[in-house]
Amino acid sequence: LLQRAQTYNMLDNILRVEIPTQTVNVEKNGQTKEIEENRFPGYVLVEMVMTDEAWFVVRNTPNVTGFVGSHGNRSKPTPLLEEEIRAILLSMGQTIDVFDTNIKEGDVVQIIDGAFMGQEGRVVEIENNKVKLMLNMFGSETVAEVELYQIAEL
């Protein structure tokens, strides 16, 4: 998958590919041996910015047959919760990066990815890398929730 991401110039969107493993003690012929085995056989974790182009590259990768949390033909999968990701990575001896930003409540930002791309909004709340924005749409204010990576400071 990383080779495909490189071929399609998607390394800015397909950020990380992990195959969760665990160390298991196996007894064979009276001897105990430690081996690495896949924690979730048949599954690969992908950290990505969910653009249409990146989604195309991932879903059309050879031998990829389906996605957890995908509800129908070509529908994008539901991301794992940060707590789920943290637990999996910690069990592998890894950590999760926390997105660091100077954006705070009250700031006006531009949406750079997703359904509201190009819109500007005022930050109402930031919690767990999710941002609630107040958008002015068709003359009235509407609240929208986006991921922190989907916005940029003005």
Q: Which two tokens stand for residue 60?
A: 């059309």
What is the per-residue pLDDT across 45-62, written as a single tens digit (0 to 9) for each? 888 888 889 889 998 988
State what percent of residues in the chain have pLDDT above 70: 92
**pLDDT at position 40:** 84
> May I ask the CATH class of domain 108-153?
mainly beta
Q: Please name the amino acid found at residue 141.
A: E
Q: Would you say 103 and 153 are in contact if contact means Cβ atoms under 8 Å apart?
A: yes
- When pLDDT is cut at 50, 70 and 90, the band that residue 22 belongs to is confident
Instruction: Report the CATH number of the 2-91 domain.
Output: 3.30.70.940
The contacts of residue 154 (CB under 8 Å, 6+ apart) are 108, 109, 110, 120
**pLDDT at position 98:** 53
Q: What is the mean pLDDT of the chain?
A: 84
Q: Which residues pair with 64 in a beta bridge?
A: none
81 vs 111: which has the higher pLDDT:
111
Mean pLDDT of 119-147: 90
Mean pLDDT of 105-127: 89
